[in-house]
Amino acid sequence: MRISELSTRSGVAIATIKYYLREGLLHQGEQVAATRAEYDESHLRRLRLIRALLEVGRLPVAAIKQVVEAVEDETLPIHEVLGTAHYALGPTVEPEPGEAWDAALAEVDRIVAGQGWTITPHAPTRAELAQTLLTLRRLGMSVDLTRYAESARRIARDDMDKIPLDAPRESAVEAMVLGTVLYGRALDTLRRMAHESESAHRLDLAPQDTFGPAPEDAPSEGDRDAPTG
Amino acid sequence: MRISELSTRSGVAIATIKYYLREGLLHQGEQVAATRAEYDESHLRRLRLIRALLEVGRLPVAAIKQVVEAVEDETLPIHEVLGTAHYALGPTVEPEPGEAWDAALAEVDRIVAGQGWTITPHAPTRAELAQTLLTLRRLGMSVDLTRYAESARRIARDDMDKIPLDAPRESAVEAMVLGTVLYGRALDTLRRMAHESESAHRLDLAPQDTFGPAPEDAPSEGDRDAPTG
């Protein structure tokens, strides 16, 4: 197909497609004449991956380029291709060298060992979790994350059940990026919903009681103080 | 104490404190002379809350003002004060009126009912989850979130155990904001760590196999393809 059809079918503007071609995110089409290239289904699939990484994963173009290079490098095992995309999804955390940082990192390794997890030593998630632990400690909050780790393990199994590990590399990466981001967002929202409910139950409130300000046109709240039976 | 001591003890610049006073985030000190006001522990506590909302919660000043007003309104039950802060922590999602949106919202309500949760009808988390469900459906991904909701319920109980509901309103709100954001971040990182481990196990890889690109100075990866026993 021509670039105009690729644009129509993918919903990506021609100028944007040309930008992806220049940046090496999208592989070149087959040059069939001096001013015309042919594109195929592989280009459509790649555009879908780029948009997923960009719009759902909110990754910068440089990170997307790394992911695309990993997808294209046939010598890389699928686990590493997934890893490249996966690591790109997390924030970049700079270590704060010192005793407190080392202690936090050691705590991270204890949590990982406690769960029996297989994590490479250079995984960026180690520094990410160390930073959060350090912040919790500075604020005097509990740093015992055992129960969170157990929940995370259960959740990750459900996540991975949805990723077709034997599918073509691009499809597997796309499914992993979409899954990590979208199910992560769903989990975060559900957790906050459960907070509201848990707070209502602990304070023994009736279901109609409000959590936060009601909209202007909300029904009367005269029965606000009526406790649940 | 004078504003200079308040600044030193809180670590917040005098100009910033004056800005919070002007914006009504921080209550006025006691005017003891034409050009001098006295501040006390309540101001220190409030500054700590503001910084927590700003730096950890990343809330805009307008949202922080709403939270502060809820903390100060003694007629509001603690559940509503917590709710105001809690709702401010989430993104604002605009509904996309139409059949698909209504179906997604109905699905949200089914999930909530399935868990037996007490959620007010105007909770912004409903629209938030509906939007994610709609995106999942459009991408042809599974929208069955039952297991995520069950995990969220377990996690929320652990979260709420850490919030002193009988503490002064400001302390309870601060603990809830910090807990929601920091434990949420820890959970997200742990989930991604568990992904890496789960991927390694499913692909039957040895612990030394890399997930994503190794740093330049990493040891040789010659044994990359050796499977686990």
Q: Cα distance from B31 to chain A (closest Cα, Å)?
A: 32
The pLDDT of residue A222 is above 50:
no
- DSSP assignment, residue A205? B
Query: pLDDT tens digit string along B39-58?
Result: 999 999 999 889 888 888 88
Per-residue confidence (pLDDT) for residue A37, from 0 to 100: 93
Q: Determine whether the interchain pair B156/A197 forms a contact, defined as Cβ–Cβ distance below 8 Å.
A: yes
Which of A132, A187, A193 minimises the CB distance to B119? A193
CB nearest to A148's CB, from B84, B183, B211: B183
Name the residue with tokens 């929940």.
Answer: A151
- Predicted ipTM of the assembly: 0.83
B177-203 in b/e burial notation, b at 16+ Cβ within 10 A?
A: bbbbbbbbbbbbbbbbbbbbbbbbeeb
Strand A36-38 to A30-33 pairing: antiparallel
Taking an 8 Å cut-off on Cβ atoms, the answer to whether B118 and A207 are in contact is: yes
Considering only the beta carbons, identify the residue of B119, B148, B214 that sits closest to A196.
B119
Each residue of B121-133: pLDDT tens digit?
889 999 999 999 9
- B148·A187 Cβ contact <8 A: yes
The encoded tokens of residue A151 equal 């929940």
Q: What is the dihedral of CA B138, B141, B143, B148, to 10 degrees?
A: -140
Residues of B in contact with A219 (CB under 8 A): none
Residue B78, chain A, CB below 8 Å: the answer is yes
Q: How many C-beta atoms surround the C-beta of residue B46 within 10 A?
A: 21
Residue by residue, DSSP assigns B134-168 as HHHHHTT-----HHHHHHHHHHHHHHHHTS-TTS-
The answer on pLDDT for B112 being more than 70 is yes
Question: Is the pLDDT assigned to residue B222 strictly greater than 60?
Answer: no
CB atoms B211 and A186 under 8 Å: no
Query: How near does any CA of chain B get to the CA of A59, in Å?
Result: 16
| Residue B156 touches chain A, beta carbons under 8 Å | yes
Question: What is the tens place of the pLDDT at every residue in B131-182?
Answer: 999 989 988 888 899 999 999 999 999 888 888 888 888 888 888 888 888 9
Rounded to an integer, what distance in angstroms lies between the CA atom of residue B72 and that of residue B81? 9
> Residue A178: which of B83, B123, B139 has the nearest Cβ?
B139
